[in-house]
Structure 1
Amino acid sequence: MFYNDILSMNYVDAIMIVDQHGRIMYSVRYNPRFDEHCHDNEYESIINKNFLEVYPSINPNESTIIKSIKEKKPIYINEQAFIDYKGRPIKTQNLTIPIIRSGKVLGAIELSKDITKIEEKVNNNIKFKPVNKRNKVSHKAMYTFQDIITVNQYMLDNIRRAKMIADSPSSVLIYGETGTGKELFVQSIHNYSSRKDKPFVAQNCAALPENLFETILFGSVKGAFTGAVDKPGLFEEANGGTLFLDEINSMPFNLQAKLLRVLQDGKVRRVGDNKERKVDVRIITAMNIEPSEAIKQEQIREDLFYRLSVVNIRLLPLRERKEDIPVYIDYFIKKYNHKMMKNITGVSKEVEELFLEYTWPGNVRELQHVIESSMNFVQHGQIELIHLPVYLSEKIGYEGISEIDNKTIKDFDMELSLDEVIEKTERELIEKALKKSG
Structure 2
Amino acid sequence: MTTGEIVVQKNQRYHDYLGHEFVSHNVTLPIRRRGKIVGVVELAKDVEPLENVDSEESDVIFNEFLETLQRESGYITFSLIQTRNPEMRKNIDMARTLAKLPNPTLIYGETGTGKELFAQAMITQSGVPRSKVVVLNCATVPENLMESILFGTKRGIYTGAENRRGLFEEADGGILFLDELNAIPYQVQAKLLRVLQDGTFRSLGDNRDKTVNVKIIAAMNVEPEEAMARNILRKDLFYRFSSSIIRIRPLRKRPEDIELFIEYYIKHFQDLYGKHIRGITGPLREALLSYRWEGNVRELKNVIELAVEFAGDDEILGPEHLPSYLHQRLFESEGDLDGSENIEGGEILPLSKAVEDLERDLILRALQRAAGNKTRAAEFLAIPRQTLTYKMNQLQLKYEATIHG
Q: TM-score, normalised by structure 2?
A: 0.63
> Residues 426-437 of structure 1 correspond to what in structure 2 (within 5 A)?
none
Give the 3-state SS of the residue equivalent to 2:205 in structure 1: coil
Long gaps (5+) in structure 2? 6-25, 37-69, 335-405
Pairwise CA distance, 1:124? 5.9
Give the 3-state SS of the residue equivalent to 1:189 in structure 2: helix
Question: Does residue 370 of the first structure (1) align with residue 303 of the second (2)?
Answer: yes
Q: Which amino acid aligns with 2:222?
A: I
CA RMSD of aligned residues (A): 2.7
Question: Does residue 384 of the first structure (1) align with residue 318 of the second (2)?
Answer: yes
Q: Is the 8 A contact 1:220 1:272 kept in 2?
A: yes
Q: TM-score, normalised by structure 1?
A: 0.59
Partner residue in 2 for 1:225: 158
Partner residue in 2 for 1:394: 328
Partner residue in 2 for 1:436: none
The alpha-carbon distance between structure 1 residues 280 and 316, as it changes in their structure 2 partners (threshold 3 A), is same
Pairwise CA distance, 1:172? 0.7
Question: Does residue 290 of the first structure (1) align with residue 223 of the second (2)?
Answer: yes
The alpha-carbon distance between structure 1 residues 311 and 81, as it changes in their structure 2 partners (threshold 3 A), is farther
Give the 3-state SS of the residue equivalent to 2:160 in structure 1: coil
Q: Is the 8 A contact 1:221 1:231 kept in 2?
A: yes
Give the 3-state SS of the residue equivalent to 2:310 in structure 1: coil
Q: Is the 8 A contact 2:76 2:121 kept in 1?
A: yes
Higher helix share: 2
**Higher RCO (Cα < 8 Å, 6 or more apart):** 2
Pairwise CA distance, 1:314? 0.5
Q: 1:274 aligns with which of 207, 217, 232?
A: 207
The superposition leaves residues 86-144 of structure 1 with CA deviations (integer Å, 9 ceiling, x where unpaired) of: xxxxxxxxxxxxxxxxxxxxxxxxxxxxxxxxxxxxx9658799xx99xxx88465411
Partner residue in 1 for 2:119: 186
The alpha-carbon distance between structure 1 residues 375 and 172, as it changes in their structure 2 partners (threshold 3 A), is same
Give the 3-state SS of the residue equivalent to 1:220 in structure 2: coil
Partner residue in 1 for 2:171: 238
Q: Is the 8 A contact 1:142 1:187 kept in 2?
A: no
Partner residue in 2 for 1:337: 270
Alignment partners' CA distance in 1, 2:136 and 2:197? 21
Alignment partners' CA distance in 1, 2:178 and 2:73? 15
Larger radius of gyration: 1
Pairwise CA distance, 1:213? 0.7
The superposition leaves residues 274-319 of structure 1 with CA deviations (integer Å, 9 ceiling, x where unpaired) of: 2322211101111112111111111111111111332001101111
Long gaps (5+) in structure 1? 1-77, 83-122, 401-438
Q: Is the 8 A contact 1:173 1:310 kept in 2?
A: no
The alpha-carbon distance between structure 1 residues 139 and 336, as it changes in their structure 2 partners (threshold 3 A), is closer
Greater shift in the superposed pair: 353-362 or 303-312:
303-312
Alignment partners' CA distance in 1, 2:158 and 2:110? 38
Alignment partners' CA distance in 2, 1:126 and 1:351? 36
Percent of residue pairs identical? 46
Alignment partners' CA distance in 2, 1:399 and 1:195? 53
Pairwise CA distance, 1:330? 2.1
Give the 3-state SS of the residue equivalent to 2:278 in structure 1: strand
Partner residue in 2 for 1:195: 128
The alpha-carbon distance between structure 1 residues 127 and 356, as it changes in their structure 2 partners (threshold 3 A), is farther
Pairwise CA distance, 1:353? 0.8
